Chain A
Amino acid sequence: MPENSSDAQRKFRTLTELKPSTAKEYQDAIVKRVDYFAATGTSTFNNAIENVIVTGASLFLNAKEKIDAMLGDELVDKVHSAIEKILLLF
């Protein structure tokens, strides 16, 4: 970054200075948007089946994180490759 006198007076910040509340603000922005659409009554957020699938996928991801950590990179790659082959069988 430039260091001359006029630049030195400028307001420079870096991403290391994130406010402690930033993560919450991001999540609140999603929640607020979901509420906005849900209020219409016709949104995908009112679909019970989809909500159940999303909850299931979230549980799956939680479990997968732990299983992947246990298996190690090499074994995870082999498992992924095998699953991909099955999923692409048509």
Chain B
Amino acid sequence: MYHIDGSDYLKEKWYSKTISVCPECLQRIPAEYIEEDGKIWMVKTCPEHGDFKDLISSSARYYKWTHYKTDKWEFLKNGEANPSDVPATDPRGCPWNCGLCPEHLSTCALALIDLTNRCNMACSFCYANIGKAGYLVEPSLEEIDRIMAHFRSKPIPPPAIMFTGGEPTVRKDFPEICAMARKHGFKEVIVATNGYGFQRKKGGLEFTKECYEKGLDTLYLQFDGINNETYEKTRGIKNLMAYKERVVENCRKAELTSIVLVATIARGVTDMEVGNIIQYAIDNIDVVRGITFQPVSLCGRISFEEMQDLRITNADVIQEIDKQTGGAVSIENAWYPLSTIVELGRIMSFLAGVEPVEFTCHPDCGFSTYLVVDPETNKMVPIMEYFDPLKIIDFANQFWEKIKHKEKEPIKIFTDLLGNFGDAGKSLGETMDKGANWLDMQQLRARFLMGMLQYTKKSGKLMDMFTRVLLNARWDSISSFSHGALLISSMHFQDAYNFDVERAKRCIVHFGIAMPDGTVKECSFCTMNSFHRPHIEKLIAKEVTNKIRNEFDTTTGKVRGEIISKEEVVSEIQPNGGIPERKGMEDEV
């Protein structure tokens, strides 16, 4: 496994401590990670509510690999610039001071905005449900603008923004919101969608084209498998596969060539679909860029036995992928924690003079791999076969250690020498220093490229693109590289049972919420969903008016002014986007 087989490190039983919460009262309590039966467990005791035990990783071997460290580097990392937005006033500490507080250790890499809690589906496990909530959560354009400005004003702003919900495309102004994101300077504009706006038989293609033209880059498309039976179990709706295929087809026609398939993985429900999803992505490689598997998070109070039936970990998912791909994507060598590439990213952005992207999330949060097709054998292989990954990581970490001071202290020799000879001398010195810095940058690029190429094993078009990424980490190179490879990742969001404050502190996916007092609250993903959402939503809730109903009214057959047959509505769409029937609303504005 990853060049560490046979080491004492793998043989030793795992033990570590952290801080978690009681799943009953949500108060902070100490927790321990222990190894039993080849698995990693979290055990904790609440003085009031007793003992709790939850599975963290079904493979102790793999867990230990993701916590492997040398004397030069480790997978657990901290961000470079994380100024807090609010003081830590709650004595309970993380996760109760979100905003962000001074305890947070990572910069936001992906900004999230919940555009609405309306949806055309009513999945039982989803937190965003206007029907259950009884109120509307939907920021205005002014509020969205305020949230975007907040994120882009950070010292290291997130390069990407994702619109979530509910179903974001039920909003009439969705294309306008995409344009707004582009205007704010987000490089990647993403929507997490079940495909609603894009799949419509009448108007879906035009909507897709409009979104693309206004700035939408990527669809995070809810995609639980390729079988209708699977969707019936997960979403309670029949014939959803045709709906999903219309999304893919309309994106293809609109040349929106970046879809990421997002699969919620539940044991015995969708875990048997992982191989099918990978195959579907490969077959549609002209428009599908990646797959994100998300082991389901567990909310509410459940017994230990029930939890063991449902709990599925990242390690389970990647073992299932191993099995269903016939070992082509193996748990033994294909997967690395997202934080692996932190130093690599820092070097490349420094050399290219672009905003860095900081993937300093906790190693337990997510793993990823790139799948590529070897042009010589036409076989799908992990990109690790193209590199010597550990050596590349090792080199990048050492290289960054040597050059990181240059980011803050560029060469100033000539300015210092000639600064005393008046304005002309100072100006000459500055010009000469600019030249010296440029030359220094070129020699650093050459060294870095040489260091990386020596651990590269194969040539070809993909590696040409990789060379370009190393040379000049501009978006066009990165995007083109990603079009020749399939990114597969597994992200396990936390719940109160497996919560670890060390993970929460390093979260890189942050919600932005426009608060009624004119401020923006920035909340990490898992703390928002596990702790803060009910309270925050009550503060920002809006009334469900008739105007809202008319914007998305499928019961009358009118959606965005277009006619859809009753049969189609019934088979695919939850009436009124989940808005409950209520008498006496006709006169509301």
Of the candidates A12, A23, A29, A64, the one whose C-beta lies within 8 Å of that of B378 is: A23
B458 & A65 in contact (Cβ 8 Å cutoff)? yes
Of residues 11 through 45 on chain A, the ones whose CB sits less than 8 Å from some CB of chain B are 11-20, 22-34, 37, 43-45
Of the candidates B272, B399, B453, B484, the one whose C-beta lies within 8 Å of that of A27 is: B484
A26 & B484 in contact (Cβ 8 Å cutoff)? yes
Would you give the shortest CB distance from B463 to chain A, in whole angstroms? 6
Kindly list chain A residues whose C-beta atoms are within 8 Å of the C-beta of B398: 88
Of the candidates B229, B402, B461, the one whose C-beta lies within 8 Å of that of A6 is: B229
Q: Max chain A CB contacts within 10 Å: which of B227, B278, B462?
A: B227
B468 & A14 in contact (Cβ 8 Å cutoff)? no
Interface size on B, residues (CB 8 A): 61
A37 & B480 in contact (Cβ 8 Å cutoff)? yes
Of the candidates A7, A47, A61, the one whose C-beta lies within 8 Å of that of B456 is: A61
Take A15-B325, A25-B286, A83-B450 as given contacts and tell me if A30 and B229 are in contact as well, using a CB distance cutoff of 8 Å: no
Q: Does A84 contact B (CB under 8 A)?
A: yes
Q: Does B379 contact A (CB under 8 A)?
A: yes
Interface string of A35-77 (1 = CB under 8 A from B): 0010000011101001001100110111011001000000000
Take A58-B459, A87-B451 as given contacts and tell me if A22 and B467 are in contact as well, using a CB distance cutoff of 8 Å: no
Take A11-B276, A58-B463, A88-B398 as given contacts and tell me if A18 and B378 are in contact as well, using a CB distance cutoff of 8 Å: yes
Nearest neighbor of A63 in chain B, beta-carbon distance: B459
State A25–B398 Cα separation when bound (angstroms).
37
Secondary structure at the B interface, as helix, strand, loop or mixed, is helix
A28 & B257 in contact (Cβ 8 Å cutoff)? no
Q: Does B516 contact A (CB under 8 A)?
A: no
Given contacts A17-B279, A22-B285, 13 further A-B contacts (CB under 8 A): A7-B272, A10-B229, A11-B226, A11-B276, A15-B329, A18-B282, A22-B378, A27-B461, A47-B472, A57-B453, A61-B453, A87-B450, A90-B403
Kindly list chain A residues whose C-beta atoms are within 8 Å of the C-beta of B275: 1, 12-15
A50 & B472 in contact (Cβ 8 Å cutoff)? yes
Would you give the shortest CB distance from A50 to chain B, in whole angstroms? 6
List 7 contacting pairs A-B, 8 Å CB cutoff, sorted by A.
A11-B226, A14-B279, A22-B282, A26-B485, A31-B461, A34-B480, A57-B467
State A44–B472 Cα separation when bound (angstroms).
8
Would you give the shortest CB distance from B316 to chain A, in whole angstroms? 15
State A12–B454 Cα separation when bound (angstroms).
40
Kindly list chain A residues whose C-beta atoms are within 8 Å of the C-beta of B457: 65, 68
Kindly list chain B residues whose C-beta atoms are within 8 Å of the C-beta of A60: 453
Would you give the shortest CB distance from B216 to chain A, in whole angstroms? 15
Q: Does B46 contact A (CB under 8 A)?
A: no
A11 & B483 in contact (Cβ 8 Å cutoff)? no
Binds A, one of B141-149, B369-377, B413-421: B369-377
State A20–B329 Cα separation when bound (angstroms).
19
State A68–B453 Cα separation when bound (angstroms).
12
What band does the interface of chain A fall in when counting residues whose beta carbon is under 8 Å from B? 35 or more
Kindly list chain B residues whose C-beta atoms are within 8 Å of the C-beta of A90: 402-403
A28 & B286 in contact (Cβ 8 Å cutoff)? yes
State A62–B464 Cα separation when bound (angstroms).
11
Of residues 116 through 158 on chain B, the ones whose CB sits less than 8 Å from some CB of chain A are none
Q: Please give the residue numbers on chain B whose beta carbons come within 8 Å of chain A beta carbons, in ascending order.
A: 226-227, 229, 257, 272, 275-276, 278-279, 282-283, 285-286, 323-326, 328-329, 372-375, 378-380, 391, 395, 398-399, 402-403, 447, 449-451, 453-459, 461-465, 467-468, 471-472, 474, 476-477, 479-481, 483-485
Nearest neighbor of B474 in chain A, beta-carbon distance: A44
State A58–B458 Cα separation when bound (angstroms).
9
State A12–B271 Cα separation when bound (angstroms).
13
Of the candidates A18, A25, A30, the one whose C-beta lies within 8 Å of that of B379 is: A18
Closest 5 interchain pairs by CB? Answer: A30-B484, A61-B459, A37-B476, A33-B483, A33-B480
Q: Does A80 contact B (CB under 8 A)?
A: yes
Take A20-B378, A26-B372 as given contacts and tell me if A54 and B471 are in contact as well, using a CB distance cutoff of 8 Å: yes
State A90–B399 Cα separation when bound (angstroms).
10
Would you give the shortest CB distance from A79 to chain B, in whole angstroms? 8
Would you give the shortest CB distance from B240 to chain A, in whole angstroms? 15
B459 & A62 in contact (Cβ 8 Å cutoff)? yes
Kindly list chain A residues whose C-beta atoms are within 8 Å of the C-beta of B402: 88, 90
Kindly list chain B residues whose C-beta atoms are within 8 Å of the C-beta of A23: 373-375, 378
Kindly list chain B residues whose C-beta atoms are within 8 Å of the C-beta of A43: 476
State A24–B483 Cα separation when bound (angstroms).
12
A30 & B480 in contact (Cβ 8 Å cutoff)? yes
State A53–B373 Cα separation when bound (angstroms).
25
Nearest neighbor of A20 in chain B, beta-carbon distance: B378
State A29–B465 Cα separation when bound (angstroms).
12
Kindly list chain B residues whose C-beta atoms are within 8 Å of the C-beta of A12: 275-276
B399 & A88 in contact (Cβ 8 Å cutoff)? yes
Would you give the shortest CB distance from B433 to chain A, in whole angstroms? 19
Nearest neighbor of A25 in chain B, beta-carbon distance: B285
State A33–B256 Cα separation when bound (angstroms).
11
Q: Max chain A CB contacts within 10 Å: which of B257, B272, B447, B467?
A: B467
A58 & B464 in contact (Cβ 8 Å cutoff)? yes
Would you give the shortest CB distance from A27 to chain B, in whole angstroms? 5
A26 & B373 in contact (Cβ 8 Å cutoff)? yes
State A30–B375 Cα separation when bound (angstroms).
13
Kindly list chain A residues whose C-beta atoms are within 8 Å of the C-beta of B456: 61, 64
Would you give the shortest CB distance from B370 to chain A, in whole angstroms? 11
Would you give the shortest CB distance from A40 to chain B, in whole angstroms? 8
Would you give the shortest CB distance from A29 to chain B, in whole angstroms? 4
Nearest neighbor of B482 in chain A, beta-carbon distance: A33
Kindly list chain A residues whose C-beta atoms are within 8 Å of the C-beta of B374: 23
Of the candidates A17, A26, A44, A84, the one whose C-beta lies within 8 Å of that of B395 is: A84
State A32–B324 Cα separation when bound (angstroms).
31
A15 & B471 in contact (Cβ 8 Å cutoff)? no
A14 & B484 in contact (Cβ 8 Å cutoff)? no
Would you give the shortest CB distance from A15 to chain B, in whole angstroms? 5
State A44–B463 Cα separation when bound (angstroms).
16
